[in-house]
Structure 1
Amino acid sequence: MSANIPGYDGKRLVILGGGFAGLTLARKLAKSEFQIVLVNKHNYHQFQPLLYQVATAGLEPSAIAFPLRKVFQDNQNVHFRKAEIQSVDFDSKVVHTSVGTIHYDYLVNAMGAGTNFFGNKEIQKRSWGLKSIPESLALRNHILMNLERASSIDDEKKRQELLTIVIVGGGPTGVEVAGALAEMRKWIIPRDYHEIDHKKVKIAVVEASGKLLGHMSEKSHKAAEDFLKSLEVEVYNGIAVDSYNGDEVTLSNGEKLPCNTLVWAAGVKGMPVKGIPAELIDKRDRIAVDEFNCIKGQEHEFAIGDIATMQTEKYPHGHPQVAQVAIQQSSLLAKNLLRLEKNVPLKPFRYSDKGTMATVGRNKAVVDLPFYSFRGFWAWLVWMFVHLMAIVGVKNRLLIFINWVWNYVFYDQSLRLIISPAKHPKHKEVPPANQMETSSN
């Protein structure tokens, strides 16, 4: 079965994934001589750094999502297919998808990363991830429903389980989720849920490595921990989660935490498709590429962003899985593909680290620039500006800005809606919310 891509006399470039890497590459080449086919599981690009704000009722999903077809509505040589990517065949130069096969001249894998549960099936089954809009909405529904249940029961033990949220992983996602929930506890719950003592809402962050924001400076580690503790978030540093049965978390120090909500933000892994030689995939499921982002052993197949691992002297285990790496790799690859067509030597990728940042809440953020680190209010403003400018679409930026200003002035947002999927008459049941699609593509 064919995916019904129009015929074309020139070269066809197929891009797998519409995240930062795939979208940037397609936009850079949208006016080139290539015919571009963009394949993605969702029909929108999602701004992953703000998924946690959807999960904590700070933003609506539409504010951080942008339809991919709208991006390219003026580019007749760009074709989009909403499809699951099933496998690739390098020899035949074919991609097999859920809507049919697509032939290519050049293939770029930009499928991003998914949640890494490190082989713990029980935790994977019972915890909540934050890698997609469906996951974020499901977590929002779950948190709000737990507050509704807690306000309606008089069993103190069960109520405490419903009011306890444990976040596993002290990276940017974990820290930002914890900060947002702590502010909800302080400003929202006392107003909305009069039957609940907001001080009994327990928020805990568990970080096995012993350092929050482990990829940042020592100054930022300490600042993030101080910020969380000032918000009365419990921090378990140097402690791992051993198990979770849905009602209780068991930590590596033997402590048990009654808990109905476990948010897993402890790691990511690549999402390679079938057909890529096993020897090219590392233990984190990333695809080995050379300095030009070409999949090793191939000539016309590339990988960029979180899915790719390029070993260098400075980054022996591959570059960090952050948006800036994906954007820089895709920008260079766009130029290199044009060079390939002209038989001009390619330029190797060299990552320019522009800095890292994370926010913990109102006026609380940390920023590490190459030669300077700072924290607090100004760091928070920088974080907001950088993220706002990175959003696709002027309307989306305006919506987010209005939401942020309203929340800052009035300490409130009116987005606390519990929206569950309806049951269609043709289907007997809907999959549980925490089993909804989770691809980050």
Structure 2
Amino acid sequence: MVKTPLIDKSDKRRVVILGGGFGGVELAKALHHSDVQVVLIDRQNFHTFQPLLYQVATAGVEPQSIVYPFRKIFDDHPNFYFRMAEALSVDTTRQIVETSIGYVNYDFLVVATGASTNFYGNAEIQQKAIALKNIDDALSLRNTILSNFEKALQIKDDAQLNSLMDFVIVGGGPTGVEIAGALSELRSHVFPKDYPELNFVKMDIHLVQSGDHLLKGMSLEAARRSKEILERAGVKLWLNCRVKSYDGFTVTLDTGETLCTRTLIWAAGVAGTLIDGFRPEAVKQNRLKVDAFNRVEGYDNVFAIGDIALMSTTENPEGFAMMAQPAIQQGGWLGKNLARLLNNEQLVPFKYHDHGSMATIGRNKAVADLVIFGNTYKTQGFKAWFIWMFVHLISLIGFRNKLIVVINWMWSYFTYDTGIRLIIGRRKENTPVEATTTKAVV
């Protein structure tokens, strides 16, 4: 098939943005009133609010309440164009991006492709574990969790039963901690009512962390408090441990110990999502090296923002954390700098304003390190939990999404229940349990 141009020629200068994550969306917003044509390319036709993916995976919120169509976000931007495609490569000499459905010329290219799950080269784990980077992953995890319990009702063999009811989470960052906390809440308040025939004393939740404390990057107070909350909730912590292998049934740690589960949740790391066409010297650790203006090293009209951008500073020699806030701030800042560039004005170096970090670990339980006017305030418990909810709620795109999420949260809070426990679509099943057990007679 001959690939054709994605967009007709324009008399305006064209800014092509690859990726509709936090950075890409913020940049497109910032270019609303600029005299340019903005072309956004993404594999999906919607933006995903990734911090709440774990709540979709644990039946806390509906999947459609954390996504929002790009065309709806920018329906009042006459200079905005969207194409659903996968960016394959870039020809920086001819200033062309090749995609899965065609090609597009650019005057300015902004790479905002984000990050993908990092399995550290372990192909076996990559094939058999469940990651949590997009809405498909979240739904797959939800379906897998629920279908495992449905199957457990028919299992009499203890080893097989434990493999269905036990969960191993790899990675003690915010995502891993939040999933562990959510599963412990479900084990205490929801699953026993749904499956009264199962003994949930047998449901083990394991959290494996390679370091000696949880929530790397947050304060030691937050790490200690989160550890205390999880242990009190019955989560089994494995610190200073790494997962060596996983065959779909047995997790083997580098200490030689083994854990039995059919559900390995991988939240251990991310790597930048690169596309072909960049010089090797512009790439480091799977990220694009950028200067203080987010310009890719060695190029005049190619920029990178968010997770894919490695901006080395005195305070952050390895670049900013691959999180939402740096991406959002870089997107907005680059939008202003591109406007300056079009007006032949001097660019202003990017300056990151750290607002702190938060993680929730269940009902009325959270940790927060907040930076307000340059001062750090540390809080835990109900206050941190309320702040976490407020910040995430106002950050969602769309009034309808905000309303649906707050209704779901209120319902769960007052009823100790989640009403979205549906098995719809894909699930992860490495070895069908029916192939290893004898069907029970009921």
TM-score band (shorter)? over 0.9
- Structure 1 distance, partners of 2:247, 2:54, is 24
- Structure 2 distance, partners of 1:19, 1:323, is 9
Q: Shift in Å at residue 420 of structure 1?
A: 1.7
Q: Shift in Å at residue 388 of structure 1?
A: 0.5
Q: Which secondary structure does the structure 1 equivalent of 2:154 belong to?
A: coil
Q: Shift in Å at residue 432 of structure 1?
A: 6.5
Q: Shift in Å at residue 99 of structure 1?
A: 1.2
1:176, 1:358 within 8 Å by CA — same for their partners in 2?
A: yes
Aligned to 1:417: 422
Aligned to 1:290: 291
- Structure 2 distance, partners of 1:39, 1:3, is 13
1:115, 1:129 within 8 Å by CA — same for their partners in 2?
A: yes
For residues 13-412 of structure 1, what are the structure 2 equivalents within 5 Å? 13-283=15-285, 285-370=286-371, 371-412=376-417
Deviations 1:245-304 (A, max 9, x none): 110111122111111110000000000100011222112x11100010000111110000
Q: Shift in Å at residue 133 of structure 1?
A: 0.2
Q: Which secondary structure does the structure 1 equivalent of 2:147 belong to?
A: helix
- Structure 2 distance, partners of 1:337, 1:420, is 42
- Structure 2 distance, partners of 1:316, 1:342, is 32
Q: Which secondary structure does the structure 2 equivalent of 1:339 belong to?
A: helix
Q: Which secondary structure does the structure 2 equivalent of 1:347 belong to?
A: coil
Q: Which secondary structure does the structure 2 equivalent of 1:144 belong to?
A: helix
Q: Shift in Å at residue 372 of structure 1?
A: 1.6
1:138, 1:433 within 8 Å by CA — same for their partners in 2?
A: no
- Structure 2 distance, partners of 1:321, 1:154, is 44
Deviations 1:109-145 (A, max 9, x none): 0010010011111111110000000011011111111
Residue identity matched to 1:372: Y
- Structure 2 distance, partners of 1:2, 1:75, is 25
Deviations 1:20-69 (A, max 9, x none): 00001001112321100000010000000000001111111100000011
- Structure 2 distance, partners of 1:153, 1:314, is 54
Q: Shift in Å at residue 7 of structure 1?
A: 2.7
Q: Which secondary structure does the structure 2 equivalent of 1:21 belong to?
A: helix
1:135, 1:433 within 8 Å by CA — same for their partners in 2?
A: no
2:311, 2:319 within 8 Å by CA — same for their partners in 1?
A: yes
Q: Taking structure 1 as the reference length, what is the TM-score of the superposition?
A: 0.94
- Structure 2 distance, partners of 1:29, 1:86, is 25
Q: Shift in Å at residue 310 of structure 1?
A: 0.6
Residue identity matched to 2:242: A
Aligned to 1:425: none
Give the % identical residues: 48
Residue identity matched to 2:225: A
- Structure 2 distance, partners of 1:296, 1:227, is 44
- Structure 1 distance, partners of 2:263, 2:281, is 38
Deviations 1:67-105 (A, max 9, x none): 011111222211100001110011000000011000000
Residue identity matched to 1:226: E
Residue identity matched to 1:345: Q
Q: Which runs of 5+ in 2 are unaligned?
A: 431-442
- Structure 1 distance, partners of 2:212, 2:148, is 30
Q: Shift in Å at residue 334 of structure 1?
A: 0.5
Aligned to 2:433: none
Q: Which secondary structure does the structure 2 equivalent of 1:196 belong to?
A: coil
2:366, 2:381 within 8 Å by CA — same for their partners in 1?
A: yes
2:96, 2:105 within 8 Å by CA — same for their partners in 1?
A: yes
2:141, 2:428 within 8 Å by CA — same for their partners in 1?
A: no
- Structure 1 distance, partners of 2:252, 2:114, is 31
Q: Which secondary structure does the structure 1 equivalent of 2:190 belong to?
A: helix
CA distance 1:201–1:3, change in 2 (3 Å): farther
Residue identity matched to 2:73: V
- Structure 2 distance, partners of 1:153, 1:32, is 62
CA distance 1:277–1:212, change in 2 (3 Å): same
- Structure 2 distance, partners of 1:114, 1:4, is 26
Residue identity matched to 2:348: K
Q: Which runs of 5+ in 1 are unaligned?
A: 422-430, 435-441
Q: Taking structure 2 as the reference length, what is the TM-score of the superposition?
A: 0.94
Aligned to 1:427: none
Q: Shift in Å at residue 433 of structure 1?
A: 7.9
- Structure 1 distance, partners of 2:389, 2:353, is 21
Residue identity matched to 1:326: A
How many residue pairs get aligned? The number is 424
Aligned to 2:438: none
Residue identity matched to 2:386: L
